[in-house]
């Protein structure tokens, strides 16, 4: 849940980070209470077909992720459902998974907008306060879809706790939704920062280096290892700056600044196809879209954008 003070945190400027919902975890194990919330007239439901959000067109150019119970029933049979929480007005919010095969059919309906979650964030297709719950719902439903069998014995699992766990019907093991930590870092040295690109990036886009945290590592250790493995840079001080839920499928991006200790970049050649030092002036040009070589950085909703702004515009440092 976000309030006025958390909205000032740097993390709040990243996409998928702001949610007005009180998750009310205390209600998840009270089946009757959740069933009652499910059938209230003010209940609203976000619907995802496979991995694709279904949006409701409102007046003009605006859309909403929220459907009434009756509207959601008309989109297709629910495969999984999760209780997301209660909004500021006391209205219950749920997320529902429907079959991915329905996407093409729903795309034809004029009252709906059917597009991928990245585009929803990038094009600001829904209000910021709706993007967080949509990402939460998508990540949670995606976890259900991928965890139908027990990792311990292979038996079938069934959902519980209002969509916040799965239980094995054979051995009884309980499984909980996972979040995978990923460090993303801007390595800087004096007035320069390291940006790199992968071959899958749009032409001209450069971003921060990132990688999964491995077992036994602190965030700081993961930053130093990834920077060394991918760019041949030794880094010293590492400072956490902000984080971002990244529901593709279920990561948490941990944004850090890192102090580089050497200048010579040696790209690993597999993950990165190019990388180099950029001056602060170039970083500002990339943020503004005025770089003379048409190079640019990730867009407003990406944490790499927030990190670059924090360093280039606001003067943040690792030390």
Comparison of 36 and 171: residue with beta carbon closer to Zn ion = 171
In contact, 167 and 174? CB cutoff 8 Å: yes
Stretch that binds Zn ion, among 87-95, 101-109, 163-171, 196-204 (CB under 5 A): 163-171
Cα distance between residue 288 and residue 256, in whole Å: 22
Which two three-digit tokens encode residue 41? 């007239």
| 156 interacts with Zn ion by CB under 5 A | no
Stretch that binds Zn ion, among 107-115, 173-181, 275-283, 303-311 (CB under 5 A): 173-181
One of 2, 30, 115, 152 touching Zn ion (CB under 5 A): 152
Distance of CA 61 to the CA centre of its chain: 24
| 161 interacts with Zn ion by CB under 5 A | no
Contacts to Zn ion from residues 19-58, by CB under 5 A: none
| 173 interacts with Zn ion by CB under 5 A | yes
| 166 interacts with Zn ion by CB under 5 A | no
CA torsion sign for 251, 257, 258, 260 is positive
Comparison of 74 and 153: residue with beta carbon closer to Zn ion = 153
Stretch that binds Zn ion, among 147-155, 159-167, 229-237, 303-311 (CB under 5 A): 147-155
Comparison of 30 and 152: residue with beta carbon closer to Zn ion = 152
CB of 174 to Zn ion, least distance (A): 10
| 171 interacts with Zn ion by CB under 5 A | yes
Place of tokens 């980070």: 17
**CB atoms inside a 10 Å sphere around CB 264:** 7
CB of 166 to Zn ion, least distance (A): 10
One of 117, 168, 186, 241 touching Zn ion (CB under 5 A): 168
Comparison of 174 and 279: residue with beta carbon closer to Zn ion = 174
Measured CA to CA in angstroms, residue 309 lies from 48, 63, 201, 268 at distances of: 33, 29, 20, 26
Triad 283, 311, 188: Cα angle to 5°: 80
Q: Cβ neighbours of residue 45 under 8 Å, at least 6 residues apart?
A: 66, 67, 68, 69, 72, 93, 94, 95, 96
| 150 interacts with Zn ion by CB under 5 A | yes
In contact, 153 and 89? CB cutoff 8 Å: no
**Residues forming the site for Zn ion (CB under 5 A):** 150, 152-153, 155, 168, 170-171, 173
């Amino acid at each position: 849940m976000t309030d006025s003070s958390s909205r000032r945190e740097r993390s709040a400027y990243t996409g998928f980070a702001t949610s007005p919902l009180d998750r009310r975890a205390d209600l998840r194990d009270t089946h009757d209470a959740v069933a009652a919330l499910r059938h209230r007239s003010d209940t609203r439901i976000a619907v995802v077909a496979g991995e694709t959000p279904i949006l409701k067109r409102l007046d003009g150019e605006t859309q909403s992720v929220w459907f009434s119970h009756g509207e959601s029933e008309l989109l297709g049979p629910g495969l999984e459902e999760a209780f997301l929480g209660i909004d500021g007005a006391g209205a219950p919010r749920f997320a529902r998974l429907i079959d991915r095969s329905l996407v093409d059919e729903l795309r034809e309906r004029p009252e709906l907008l059917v597009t991928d979650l990245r585009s929803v964030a990038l094009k600001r297709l829904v209000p910021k306060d709706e993007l967080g719950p949509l990402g939460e719902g998508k990540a949670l439903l995606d976890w259900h879809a991928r965890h139908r069998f027990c990792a311990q014995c292979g038996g079938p699992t069934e959902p519980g706790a209002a969509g916040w766990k799965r239980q094995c019907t054979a051995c009884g093991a309980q499984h909980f939704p996972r979040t995978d930590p990923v460090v993303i870092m801007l390595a800087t040295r004096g007035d320069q920062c390291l940006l790199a690109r992968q071959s899958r990036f749009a032409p001209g886009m450069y971003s921060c280096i990132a990688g999964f945290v491995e077992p036994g590592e602190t965030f700081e250790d993961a930053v130093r290892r990834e920077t060394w493995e991918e760019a041949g840079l030794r880094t010293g001080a590492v400072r956490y700056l902000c984080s971002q839920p990244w529901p593709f499928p279920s990561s948490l991006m941990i944004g850090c600044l890192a102090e580089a200790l050497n200048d010579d970049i040696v790209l690993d050649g597999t993950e990165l196809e190019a990388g180099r030092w950029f001056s602060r002036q170039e970083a500002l040009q990339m943020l503004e879209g005025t770089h003379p070589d048409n190079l640019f950085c990730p867009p407003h909703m990406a944490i790499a954008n927030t990190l670059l702004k924090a360093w280039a515009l606001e003067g943040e440092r690792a030390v």
